[in-house]
Amino acid sequence: MEKPLVYFLCTGNSCRSQMADGFLNAIGGPLYEVKSAGLEAHGLNPRAVKVMAESGVDISSNTSNIIDPETLNRATYVITLCGHADEHCPVISNPNVIKWHWGFDDPAKATGSEEEIMDQFRAVRDAIKSRVEQFVQEGK
Residues serving a catalytic function are 10, 82, 89
Distance of alpha carbon 106 from alpha carbon 13, whole angstroms: 11
Strands (E), the chain: 5-10, 33-38, 77-80, 98-101
Strands (E), 33-136: 33-38, 77-80, 98-101
Whether the Cβ atoms of residue 92 and residue 9 lie closer than 8 Å to each other: no
